Amino acid sequence: MGAAVQNTSGGGRRRGRNRRRAQPMAEINVTPFVDVMLVLLIIFMVAAPLLTVGVPVELPKTAAGALSSESEEPLTVTITAEGRVQIQTTEVARGELVSKLRAVAAERTTDRVFLRADGAISYATVMQVMGALNAGGFSNVGLVTDTGGPTLDGEGE
């Protein structure tokens, strides 16, 4: 019985470096982009609540959506649970409200104003302040509420 020696130098495929040259990758790696966007999203989610006017008011809840924002900072008039009226964060006496609103309206480019009223305030008080807003030169009044209230369509509460 004899042993045979097999010669592999001629016919097989060589393994190693020269199999194929590496081709440049033509795809964009989006992982760093997604990471940066998620960090920015978290930053804006944390910072957004800090940008609102800091008057504590218990807003009524409705099913209405949000209004679109503008380039100019919105004017906010607030009626607190005690019945005090504030323009932005400055408290204003009711007798001076119309004159202060006229002065503010003269400096602004839009007539939009957001009215925030505590849910415990009577409808008559809210309507009196809305009348003062109209007399002060603001005819575009947006009522601010919290979301998640009843839809009044019988499907949720």
pLDDT in tens, 50-107: 776 566 767 777 777 666 655 667 888 999 988 899 988 888 988 888 999 898 888 8
Average pLDDT over the chain, rounded to an integer: 79
The four Cα atoms 103, 48, 130, 81 give a dihedral, to 10 degrees, of: -110
> What's the pLDDT tens digit per position in 5-23?
555 555 555 555 556 677 7
Token duo for residue 59: 């807003």
Query: Distance (Å, rounded) from C-alpha 87 to C-alpha 121?
Result: 17
Radius of gyration, CA atoms only, the chain = 33
Q: What are the backbone dihedrals phi and psi of residue 156, each rounded to the nearest 5 degrees, phi first?
A: -175, 170
